[in-house]
Structure 1
Amino acid sequence: MYRSHLINRRFWLAGAAALALSACSKTEKDEHGHAEGGETAKGPHGGRLLEDGDFSLEVTLFEDGVEPEFRFYPYLKSKPLSPKSVTVTTSLTRLGGQVDSFSFAPEGDFLRGQGVVREPHSFDVAIKATHDGKVSTWTYASYEGRTTLAPDAAVSAGIQTEAAGAAILAERIDMSGRIEITPEGRSEVRAWYPGRIISMNGELGQLVQKGQVLARVESSESLQTYAIPAPISGVIMEKNANVGGVAYDSPLYVIADPNALHAEFFVFPRDAEKIRVGQDVEVRSLDGQTRLTAKVEALLPHADPTTQTLMAHVHLPAGASASFRSGLGVEGSFTVGSQGMPLAVRTEAIQRFRDFQVVFARVGTTYEVRMLKLGRQTPEWTEVLGGLAPGEVYVTKGAFLIRADIEKSGASHDH
């Protein structure tokens, strides 16, 4: 009976505040040769040697050019024994209680497992062998990519989980653009009749209300003085005249409503056919810190002769002026289609472990690696084609902490 060793360890995280992550990891010397603690007996082929009196069985996990499979070598008094004289069955109990069972068939000088030992190679092993009427049994733990973490430590470290399930994969096109005042949010203040400017009551940057008198002009024809009110509410962006000057064709002021914003995006011809009025667009500041969802309001049919792009206008909702200002550059993701996926995980949850892309499943206070076969991907979701079961709980935030803890413990192997 081989028992796993509990290894207590603590690592500290730098961030907005220091977080202490106290974890406990289980590892056991297995056929891959990685362990902490005492050594186990090895056979001639480098595998774990299980002994019962004169009879012994060497356990190896062979994966050289084939899918991982068990190969057992039997011995009697330390001498190779014909595999045809031995019957073996094996069961692997995985985290969560699932059991994989294997029978074996003789091949050459070993017994070959009838089935692939799927990743991760982390399980409690039970082996039953029969030779010459005698039954031998062994059990031991062989863990990799596994660690345990108390609930309060997980909360302190900011680790979050959710159940894997179906998701909607949104097809997006990314573009660059800029924030501008809408045509309705901009107005030029002009004299109604040519004449001498008697007074000007507005200054640059001043907030004015619709109907507020901004200037008075003496008509050159009637010599009557008339008032010029603000046509819209907004901020004076330009002042182009002074008292005593002549009001004629040029605007006296330019007023803009800072809340009347839209985003203008530059659409390449190859993408133009996919853009439709009403589509959702995620508008982001260039640093990615500010995001909002808006809709396409128009796609102008005329292409810019210099850039060979068309212009898509995206209406920004009320309150956008708190984060976006006219003239600033932005990025946008246009949702041009969507497809359902029966099983997906959040893209941010995926980590690199050995040669695999993985997530970390949680069962109680234990976390364990899950090697994934992946399909389509967006910044938010990634389709899972294999390696994770629907409903299985996995780490969505803080997965890198779990990976770091496992790698620190040495609870992994190299293929």
Structure 2
Amino acid sequence: MNAHPMRRFVRFAVCLTATILLTACGQAAKPQAEGEGHAETAGDFERGPHRGRMLREGDFAIEVTIFEEGVEPEFHVYAYRKNKPLDPKQVQLAVELRRLGGKTDRFAFAPQQDYLRGAGVVEEPHSFDVKVRAVEGGRTHQWAYASYEGRTAFSAEAARAGGVKTEVAGPVVMAELVDMAGRIEITPEGRGEVRAWYPGRIVAMNAQLGQTVRKGQVLARVESSQSLQTYSIPAPISGVIVQKSANVGDVAYDAAILVIADPTKLHAEFFVYPRDAERVRVGQKVEVRNLAGDARLTARVEAVLPTADIESQTMMAHVHLPPGAASTFRPGMGVEGAFQVGAQQAPLAVRTMALQRFRDFTVVFARVGNTYEVRMLELGRKTPEWTEVLSGLEPGTEYVTDGAFLIRADIEKSGASHDH
């Protein structure tokens, strides 16, 4: 399949720049760099006996490799004269790596066995513009080339069209969460029972199951068995009649003849197991979500009942729901709750939804201008919203939160590799 015209242009422009640099340093013009987001293939540069990059000038050459077997990545560089191994003690070498964003890493080298070993770790990602300086036999050789991985470029317009959004990484307060199961119920204040004030026969009933009534509305009339006078029974609250246990002609005594529920007065009842009982407190924030996970809201614990259920040994925590919750949450629905039982400061964290997989790493994509590049992370604590970063990302880095999968897909499509 043919490459996108813009990608071909970017690739040509970067390669042309690298060629000019190489020619200026005395090296034959060869395609030494890949374009943004494109890893080099075996045909892009000459490989040496150790599968590294060959850099030549006259009859002198060096082979640059990054060694990673059983150790942190480090430079191993082999020297040659007339294609035959050269004693590394005869070469003084320095390498400079300029990374996306302007950070520069510099490496000095010392001879070891048959190669020159770089002092220090070549940190991930192995994506940089490289400058090499070698001195041997009184002659100085210099090369420059680009070696990118996990990198791509999007115009601002393309990024907006793809839904790409970014944030700046920094310190956050991370909530410590405990998940619990529960159900939606009417609050005690949202439930009213209609009872006869004095025993007697029901002579009129102005209420039907499911009917909406208002507080003070007359729902029934009862003839007192003692005085034989008829009195009216009003609705104690506004709401919906959810239970009807009597009809005209029945004798009303001490049982409720009607039950009214206000569907806007809801709370969630959660089952608190003994291991979490000491951590749940009144006033704590709780994210309440339905079992499908497509409806959620944040509320607070209003009460923790001190008695435990005999069979399950669970306590009950009540979480008050705002009136607007009635449009989504219904009495009797099963729900899940994430209780914020604590909070700790994380010196550096990123949005959990920003995390992606790249090779064997968990990464985010840093943004510098219109260029995006992987950052391999070592992670700490994690919540649904935030993940602590222990290493791999500089504070203040702008990184992709929404649309990160699009960046990853473009990098994978371009054939990004980890080839040295």
Give the TM-score of the pair, scaled to structure 2: 0.91
Residue 412 (structure 1) shift: 2.3
CA contact (8 A) 2:39 2:148 kept: no
Q: Counterpart of 1:329?
A: 334
Aligned length, in residue pairs: 398
1:195 lines up with 2:191 in the alignment: no
Q: How far did residue 39 of structure 1 move? A: 3.2
1:107 aligns with 2:112: yes
**Which stretch has the larger CA shift, 404-413 or 378-387?**
404-413
What pairs with 1:88-167 in structure 2 (closer than 5 Å)?
88-167=93-172
* Structure 2: distance between partners of 1:404 and 1:377: 25
RMSD, matched Cα: 2.2
| Structure 1 residue ranges, 4+ long, deviating more than 6 angstroms after superposition | 21-27
Is 1:174 aligned with 2:179? Answer: yes
Among 245, 252, 269, the residue aligned to 2:250: 245
The answer as to whether partners of 1:8 and 1:24 remain within 8 angstroms in 2 is no
Equivalent residue for 1:186, pick from 168, 191, 212: 191
Structure 2 residue runs without a partner (length 5+):
16-32
Contact 1:406 1:412 in 2 (8 A): no
Structure 2: which amino acid aligns with 1:224?
Q
* Structure 1 partner of 2:90: 85
Query: Greater strand percent: which structure?
Result: 1
Which structure 2 residues correspond to residues 226-375 of structure 1 after superposition, within 5 A?
226-375=231-380
1 CA distance for matches of 2:350 and 2:182? 30
Q: Which amino acid aligns with 2:169?
A: A
Structure 1 pair 360/334, CA: closer, same or farther in 2 (3 Å)? same
State, as a whole percentage, how many aligned pairs show the same letter: 65
- Work out the CA distance in 2 between the residues paired with 1:24 and 1:316: 55
- Kindly state the Cα deviation for residue 305 of structure 1 after the two structures are TM-superposed: 1.4
Contact 1:198 1:243 in 2 (8 A): yes
Structure whose residues are more often helix by fraction:
2
Q: 1:39 and 1:159 mapped to 2: Cα distance?
A: 31
Task: Provide TM-score, normalisation by structure 1.
Answer: 0.92
Q: Compute the displacement of 1:23 (Å).
A: 12
> In structure 2, what is the equivalent of residue 52 of structure 1?
57
1:392 CA displacement = 0.4
Instruction: Give distance in 2, aligned partners of 1:215 and 1:104.
Output: 97
CA distance in 1, matches of 2:179, 2:211: 37
In the TM superposition, what is the alpha-carbon distance from 1:244 to its structure 2 partner? 1.4
Residue 4 (structure 2) aligns with: 8
Shift of 1:29: 6.5
- Are the counterparts in 2 of residues 284 and 330 from structure 1 also a CA contact under 8 Å? yes
**Contact 1:377/1:383 (8 A) holds in 2:** yes
C-alpha distance 85-336 of structure 1, shift in aligned 2 (>3 A): same
- Residue aligned with 1:319, SS: helix
Q: Is the 8 Å Cα contact of residues 177 and 339 (structure 2) preserved in structure 1?
A: yes
- The letter of the residue matching 2:81 is L
Structure 1: gaps of 5 or more residues: 1-5, 11-20
1: distance between equivalents of 2:320 and 2:50?
A: 69
Look up the SS of the partner of 2:331 in the other structure.
coil
Contact 1:181–1:262 under 8 Å retained in 2: yes
Q: Is the 8 A contact 2:39 2:414 kept in 1?
A: no
Contact 2:242–2:259 (8 Å) recurs in 1: yes
- State the SS of the aligned residue for 2:323: coil
CA distance in 2, matches of 1:173, 1:280: 11
Q: 2-side partners of 1:121 and 1:291: how far apart?
A: 42
